[in-house]
Amino acid sequence: MSKRDDVTPASAHSRPKMLKCARSACAVKICYSKALCQALRVCFPRPSLLCTDPTVTSMDLSNMRKSYKGDAEAFEENQLVSLDPILQFGDWFEQATKCPAIGEANAMCLATCSKDGRPSARMVLLKGYSQEGFRFFTNYESRKGAELDSNPFAALVFYWEPLNRQVRIEGPVDRIPRESSEEYFHSRPKSSQIGAVVSRQSSVIPSREYLRQKNAELEEKYQGEEVPMPDYWGGYILRPKVMEFWQGQTNRLHDRIVFLQPAEGDAVDGVMQHRGEGGWIYQRLSP
């Protein structure tokens, strides 16, 4: 056999193959790119969709879609466990935490906006919620910290894909008391505490080695000692004014039930808008 006999013809690679996604058990069309693809097949169990050719600069993703729930599983108003959206969130959140396919049910997208209207978004972890609001922690000197200082409003999005559910929350944001931040800070693993001191989040650094060196210095400095919480780190609380519960439908007639804190004097007609609990009103939105 010649050296070329064991090379799969390019034509074989050009034919899309049907594979089943290990996560969703759905069949997807994929295309491998010659030798590179063979290497990726060994290194990565989930090959890229469409093509792995690094020279490709655009892709048509119009055929990427999946089925959600059917109309028999529609999310109706009579299925709300409570007319208080915080309690409704608690029910969905508990289901998400019990779903084996969801690794971090408390992962959420936090969207902030600068004073001049430039948005930014990133994933953070929810660290607690109550009737007062939703709590998370970060570096106050980060981009999100700077944006929350100049424009103290934000939006959160939880997306639990295996359940075909999303919760969107909007509201003003405040820093929590320093004592509360310190209590949480000292409950974290010591390595995480040191990491928070090392990182001046979003600042430019020369290399990863720089972080390693700073981390090693602080590990030695605080060996056997408590790590003080830095002034530039702490918690926030988002106080919800809007909470939307979304559930996907295969025909794209998705379910959207939104709770709002009405302005004083707003009328509730009992047809399009309905009174909830705790001063909330709720209504259904077109998908």
Alpha carbons 280 and 242: distance in angstroms, whole number:
9
- Contact 99/92 with Cβ under 8 angstroms? no
DSSP label of 277: S
- Contact 199/211 with Cβ under 8 angstroms? yes
Alpha carbons 119 and 105: distance in angstroms, whole number:
24
Rg (CA), the chain: 24
Marked catalytic residue, from 200, 208, 252, 256: 252
Active site residue 23: no
Apex CA 217: angle with CA 211 and CA 219, to 5°? 100
Cα distances (angstroms) measured from residue 215 to each of 119, 124, 142, 197, 206:
32, 22, 19, 9, 15
What's the 3-state SS for 184-225? HHCCCCHHHHHHHHHCCCCCCCCCHHHHHHHHHHHHHHCCCC
Residues with catalytic annotation? 252
